[in-house]
C-alpha cells in the first residue's frame, strides 16, 4: 500500500513532494491544532480530512478538533454566516449569548490542547472566540491563526463589527482571495482553497463507471452534454443556464444537466428548484437532478461525462465546482465573478461571461470546434495541477507557519539543514 | 537553496488610475516585487496578455490599453532597487494622467488589490564544487529554486546578477564565456520552466563544447 505522499507524487510529481518535505523538516514534531465546527460535510471538513494525515506523514504532530454546540449556537452561526456574506441578518442577544457560552464551554474542554499547541488554526466564525478565553487564562504558548473560508467582502456591518472584536487578537488571518478580506490590524495572508485529486469527487473513473452513472439518468452520451453542478440558488443563475441552452439547441443538438443538492432542508432552494422545473417545461433534453450530499462519485462521473461545464454564477465565492471541472479537463464557461476569475483565463482554458447570450455564444463556438475544446481542456487541467490541488494548499500552510515562527521580514532564512 | 512565497494582502485597493498612483507612492516595496515578479511563481498567469499585474489590471480592469502597454514595458531588471522601480511606475502613470482628461475607472469588484509577499528560504542540502555538475542539476531544480537563484538573486545581491553568474565569477576568468551567455538571458518574458530549460541547455551546450 502506497503512503499518501507517494499517492500524491504520482499526480503532482516527486519535485512537489520533495519541496513539501523540505518545508516540513524544520516543523517536525511541532504541535499544530486545527479547530472547526463539523467533522463531515462542507468544504472545510473535506480539506481537513486530507490535510491532517498529510501533515502527520510529514512528521508534524497535527491534530483536528471539532467544537460542539447547542441548536441555538448553530442557529446563531448560520445567521452569522449569511450576514458575513452580505445578507441583512439581525442576530438576537440570546443567540449571541449561546455563541459565546458554547465557545467558553468548548474552551474548557480543549484548554490543555489549545495552550500546548505551537500553532492553532481556527476555521471560520464558529470557534473564533476561543482565543478570547485562552487569552484570559495564562499559558497561551503558540501562534493563533484565523482561517476565513467565506467571502466577507460585503458583510452586514453590525455582525462583522461583532465578530471583528474576536478576530482582531489573532496573530494573523488567512483569506481565500484579497477581494474577500476585511482590513484588520494583523497580517492578512492569502491562500486560495484547493481540491483533493484522490477524493471520490475527483479521482479518475473508468469509462464504464462514467457511462453507468450517466445512463442511470437517461443521459445520451451520443449527444453533447453541458452541465452545471450547483445548489439551486438564484446566485447560480440556473434559469440563465437554461436560457443559454435554449439559444444553443436551435443550432445544434445538445443536452443540459442541472445537478444540485436535494432541497428538502432549504426552503428557498425548493422554491428555486420549482421555478427551474417550470422554466425547463417538458424538454426531455434537460435533466434536472437532485443529488444527496454524499453523491461525490456521481458528480465526478457527471463532470467527466460532460463536454462542457457551466458555472454561470452571478455571485460566487471561490467556485470549487469550477476547479473540479477544470481538473477533469473540461473547458468551463462561467460568470465573471469571485474566485472564478482567478481560475479561468478568458479564451485560454474557458470563457468568462456576463449574460445567457454570452454563455450561448461560447457554447456554440466550442461545440463547433472540438479541437479547441480539447486544447482548452488540457490547459484547464494543467492550471489546477499547478495551482489548486491540496499539495499547493499544504505548501502554503507550511510556508505561513515558517514565516510566523521564524520572523516577519520580507525574506526569512531557515538556517536549519532541510533534507528530504 | 530553495524558496517558497506566501502572499499577504496589504489592504490597499485602487478603483482608478489616480488611486493606483497614490497607493503606489506609499505601498510596501514588497508589493512592487510581488506584482512585477510574483507572477512567475503563480504559473497560471504566465499566459496573460501583459507582463506584470499592474499592466494586466490597466488592460482588463480599466480598459486602458495605452497605459497597459506602457506599464508592461517597464523592465524591473534594469532597476537597481525597488524604489527606483517604484519611481518609474509612478512616472508612467503620472504621464498618462497628464495626457488624458478622462480618468479610467474599474467596475466595483474589479479594483486593483495590493499584495505583497514573504519569502521563506531554506537549504536543500545540495552542494557542488564543480560547475559542470550544474548541467545535470539545473534540469531537476524546482521552479521555486530557479526563482530564488535567478530572479530573487538580482534583488538580493549587490551586483544585481543571478547566483550562477556570481558563483562562476569566483573561478576567475575560467568561465567568462559562460558568464557572458548567462548574463544575456532575459528572465522577464518567460516562464520559470522555460528559464530552467534555457539555462540547463546553456550549461549542457557549454560543457559539451569544452569537453
Residue B154 has pLDDT above 90, yes or no: no
Percentage of residues of chain A with pLDDT beyond 90: 77
Q: Would you say domain A207-387 falls under CATH 3.40.250.10? A: no
With 90 as the cut, is the pLDDT of residue B51 above it?
A: no
Could you identify the residue written with the cell 482567478?
A: A342
Cβ of B123 within 8 Å of Cβ of A416? The answer is yes
Mean pLDDT over A258-280 rounds to 82
Quote the CA–CA distance of B174 and A252 in Å, as a whole number.
Answer: 67
Residue A419 has pLDDT above 50, yes or no: no
B30 touches chain A (CB under 8 A): yes
Minimal Cα–Cα distance from B99 to chain A, Å? 30
- Give the model's pLDDT for residue A267: 65
Report CB contact under 8 Å: B140, A383: no
Contacts of B15 (CB under 8 A, 6+ apart): B105, B106, B108, B111
What pLDDT, on the 0 to 100 scale, is given for residue A279? 97
ipTM exceeding cut-off 0.90 for this assembly: no
What are the chain A neighbours of B193 within 8 Å (beta carbons)? none
The residue of chain A with its CA nearest to that of B56 is A345
Question: What's the mean pLDDT in A374-386?
Answer: 94
Q: For residue A260, what are the β-bridge partners?
A: A290
- pLDDT confidence of A38, banded at 50, 70, 90? confident
Q: Is residue A201 pLDDT above 90, yes or no?
A: yes
Beta-bridge mates of residue B130: none
Please check the confidence at residue A337 and state whether its pLDDT lies above 90: no
Mean pLDDT of B162-168: 94
Contacts with A414 from chain B: Cβ below 8 Å: 120-123
What pLDDT is attached to residue B203? 94
CB spacing of B113 vs A179 below 8 angstroms? yes
Show residues of chain B in contact with A383, CB under 8 Å. 43-44
A416, B122: Cβ pair inside 8 Å?
yes
Q: Among all chains, which residue has been given the C-alpha cell 511541532?
A: A30
Q: Which residues in chain A have their CB less than 8 angstroms from residue B123's CB?
A: 414-418
pLDDT of A400: 95
Interface test mutation site (partner B, options A168, A178, A191, max chain B beta carbons within 10 A): A178
For B173-195, write each residue's pLDDT tens digit. Answer: 999 999 999 999 888 777 888 89
A4-194+389-406: which CATH topology? Rossmann fold (3.40.50)
CA A409, A175, B145, B177 torsion: positive or negative?
A: negative
- Picking from A343, A386, A413, the nearest residue to B121 by CB comes out as A413
Residue A79 contacts by C-beta under 8 Å, 6 or more apart in sequence?
A89, A91, A95, A159
For residues A338-376, b (16+ Cβ closer than 10 Å) or e, as one string?
A: bbbbbbbbeebbbbbbeebebbbbbbbebbeeeeebeeb
| Cell, residue A200 | 471520490
pLDDT digits (tens, 9 = 90+) for A41-71: 677 888 899 899 999 999 999 999 999 999 9
Q: Residue A146 contacts by C-beta under 8 Å, 6 or more apart in sequence?
A: A122, A128, A131, A167, A170, A172, A173, A174
Helices (H) and strands (E) in chain B, counts: 11, 2
- Tell me the mean pLDDT in the region A189-204: 95
**Cβ within 8 Å of A, B 153-182:** 156
Q: What are the structural domain ranges in chain A?
A: 4-194+389-406, 207-387
Distance from CA of A187 to the nearest CA of B (A): 7
Q: Does residue B142 register a pLDDT over 50?
A: yes
| Residue A420: per-residue pLDDT | 41
Q: Given this model, what pLDDT does residue A266 score? A: 61
Q: Tell me how close the Cα of A183 comes to any Cα of chain B, in angstroms.
A: 6
Residues of A in contact with B120 (CB under 8 A): 23, 399, 402-403, 406, 412, 414
Query: Has residue A377 got a pLDDT over 80?
Result: yes
Q: From residue B34, give the alpha-carbon distance in Å to each of A229, B85, B151.
A: 35, 12, 12
Nearest CA of chain A to the CA of B147: how many Å? 14
CA distance B10 to B30: 10
State mean pLDDT over A317-334. 95
Q: Which residues of B touch A343 (CB under 8 A)?
A: 44
pTM to 2 decimals? 0.89
Which of A412, A414, A416, A420 to mutate: most B Cβ within 10 Å?
A: A412
Report the Cα–Cα distance between both ends of chain A, in Å, rounded. Answer: 21
- Identify the H or E element spanning A64: strand A61-66
Beta pairing class for A411-417 and B112-123: parallel
Contact B9 A417 (CB under 8 A): no
CA distance B33 to A16: 24
Instruction: Flag whether pLDDT at A26 surpasses 80.
Output: yes
Two domains, one topology: A4-194+389-406 and A207-387: yes
- Binary contact (A399, B7; C-beta < 8 A): no
| pLDDT over 60 at A96, yes or no | yes
Span of A18-27, A168-177, B183-192 with lowest mean pLDDT: B183-192
Is residue B193 less than 8 Å (CB to CB) from chain A?
no
CB contact under 8 A, B122 and A418: yes
- Name the phi and psi angles at A143, rounded to 5: -90, 140
Q: Which of the two residues, B40 and A18, has the higher pLDDT score?
A: A18
Q: Which residues of A touch B117 (CB under 8 A)?
A: 410
Per-residue confidence (pLDDT) for residue B46, from 0 to 100 = 45
pLDDT reported for residue A418: 45
pLDDT band at A138, cuts 50/70/90?
Answer: low
CB-nearest to B4 from A178, A181, A399 is: A399
**pLDDT higher than 80, residue A407:** no
Instruction: Report CA A160 to chain centroid distance, whole Å.
Output: 21
Which stretch, A360-369, B35-44, B101-110, B127-136, has highest mean pLDDT? Answer: A360-369
Cross-chain Cβ contact B120/A181 below 8 Å? no
Q: What is the pLDDT of residue A414?
A: 79
Chain A environment of B142 (Cβ under 8 Å): 15, 18-19
d(CA A184, CA B8): 12
Give the pLDDT of residue B58: 95
Q: What mean pLDDT is predicted for residues A191-199? A: 94
Nearest by CB to residue B120, choosing from A18, A337, A412, is A412
The 3-state DSSP class for residue B186 equals: coil
Min Cα–Cα distance to chain B from A111, Å: 30
A230 phi and psi angles, rounded to 5 deg: -165, 155
The per-residue pLDDT of chain A, averaged, comes to: 92
Neighbours of A97 (CB within 10 A): 13
Interface of B with A in 31-70 (CB under 8 A): 33, 42-45, 47-48
Amino acid at each position: 500500500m502506497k503512503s499518501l505522499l507517494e499517492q500524491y507524487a504520482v499526480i503532482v510529481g516527486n519535485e512537489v513532494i520533495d519541496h513539501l518535505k523540505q518545508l516540513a523538516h524544520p516543523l517536525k514534531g511541532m504541535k499544530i491544532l486545527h479547530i472547526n465546527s463539523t467533522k463531515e460535510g462542507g468544504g472545510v471538513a473535506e480539506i481537513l480530512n486530507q490535510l491532517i494525515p498529510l501533515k502527520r506523514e510529514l512528521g508534524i504532530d497535527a491534530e483536528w478538533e471539532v467544537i460542539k454546540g447547542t441548536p441555538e449556537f448553530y442557529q446563531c452561526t448560520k445567521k452569522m454566516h449569511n450576514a458575513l456574506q452580505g445578507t441583512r441578518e439581525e442576530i438576537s442577544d440570546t443567540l449571541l449569548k449561546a455563541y459565546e457560552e458554547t465557545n467558553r464551554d468548548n474552551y474548557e474542554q480543549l484548554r490543555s490542547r489549545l495552550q500546548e499547541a505551537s500553532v492553532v488554526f481556527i476555521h471560520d466564525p464558529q470557534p473564533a472566540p476561543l482565543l478570547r478565553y485562552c487569552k484570559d487564562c495564562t499559558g497561551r504558548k503558540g501562534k493563533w491563526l484565523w482561517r476565513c473560508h467565506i467571502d466577507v467582502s460585503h458583510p452586514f456591518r453590525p455582525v462583522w463589527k461583532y465578530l471583528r472584536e474576536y478576530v482582531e487578537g489573532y496573530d494573523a488571518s488567512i483569506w481565500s482571495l484579497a477581494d474577500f478580506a476585511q482590513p484588520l490590524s494583523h497580517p492578512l495572508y492569502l491562500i486560495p482553497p484547493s481540491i483533493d485529486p484522490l477524493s471520490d469527487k475527483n479521482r479518475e473513473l473508468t469509462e464504464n463507471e462514467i457511462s453507468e452513472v450517466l445512463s442511470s439518468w437517461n443521459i445520451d452520451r451520443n449527444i453533447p452534454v453541458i452541465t452545471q453542478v450547483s445548489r439551486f440558488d438564484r446566485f447560480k443563475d440556473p434559469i440563465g443556464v437554461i436560457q443559454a441552452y435554449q439559444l444553443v439547441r436551435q443550432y445544434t443538438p445538445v443536452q443540459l444537466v442541472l445537478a444540485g443538492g436535494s432541497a428538502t432542508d432549504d426552503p428557498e432552494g425548493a422554491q428555486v428548484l420549482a421555478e427551474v422545473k417550470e422554466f425547463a417545461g417538458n424538454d426531455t433534453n434537460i435533466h434536472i437532478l437532485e443529488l444527496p450530499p454524499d453523491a461525490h462519485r456521481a458528480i465526478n462521473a457527471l463532470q467527466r461525462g460532460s463536454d462542457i461545464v457551466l458555472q454561470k454564477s452571478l455571485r460566487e465565492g471561490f467556485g470549487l465546482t469550477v476547479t473540479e471541472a477544470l481538473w477533469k479537463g473540461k473547458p468551463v464557461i462561467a460568470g465573471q465573478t469571485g474566485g472564478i476569475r482567478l481560475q479561468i483565463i478568458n479564451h485560454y482554458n474557458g470563457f468568462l461571461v456576463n449574460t445567457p447570450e454570452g454563455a450561448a455564444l461560447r457554447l456554440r463556438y466550442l461545440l463547433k470546434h472540438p479541437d479547441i475544446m480539447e486544447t482548452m481542456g488540457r490547459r484547464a487541467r494543467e492550471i489546477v495541477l499547478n495551482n489548486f490541488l491540496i499539495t499547493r494548499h499544504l505548501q502554503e500552510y507550511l510556508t505561513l507557519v515558517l514565516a510566523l515562527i521564524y520572523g516577519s521580514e520580507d525574506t526569512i532564512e531557515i538556517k536549519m539543514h532541510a533534507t528530504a | 537553496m530553495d524558496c517558497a512565497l506566501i502572499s499577504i494582502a496589504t489592504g490597499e485597493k485602487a478603483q482608478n488610475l489616480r488611486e493606483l498612483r497614490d497607493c503606489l507612492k506609499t505601498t510596501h516595496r514588497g508589493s512592487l516585487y510581488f506584482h512585477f515578479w510574483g507572477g512567475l511563481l503563480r504559473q497560471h498567469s504566465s499566459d496573460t496578455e501583459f507582463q506584470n499585474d499592474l499592466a494586466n489590471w490597466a488592460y482588463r480592469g480599466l480598459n486602458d490599453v495605452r497605459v497597459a502597454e506602457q506599464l508592461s514595458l517597464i523592465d524591473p531588471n534594469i532597476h537597481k532597487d525597488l524604489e527606483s522601480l517604484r519611481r518609474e511606475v509612478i512616472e508612467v502613470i503620472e504621464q498618462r494622467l497628464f495626457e488624458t482628461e478622462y480618468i479610467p475607472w474599474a467596475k466595483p469588484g474589479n479594483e486593483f488589490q495590493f499584495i505583497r509577499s514573504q519569502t521563506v528560504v531554506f537549504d536543500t542540502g545540495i552542494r557542488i564544487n564543480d560547475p559542470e555538475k550544474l548541467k545535470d542539476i539545473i534540469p531537476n531544480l524546482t521552479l521555486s529554486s530557479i526563482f530564488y537563484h535567478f530572479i530573487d538573486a538580482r534583488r538580493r545581491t549587490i551586483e544585481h546578477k543571478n547566483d550562477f553568474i556570481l558563483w562562476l565569477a569566483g573561478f576567475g576568468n575560467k568561465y567568462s564565456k559562460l558568464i557572458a551567455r548567462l548574463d544575456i538571458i532575459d528572465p522577464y518574458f518567460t516562464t520559470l520552466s522555460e528559464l530552467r530549460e534555457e539555462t540547463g541547455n546553456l550549461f549542457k551546450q557549454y560543457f559539451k563544447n569544452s569537453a
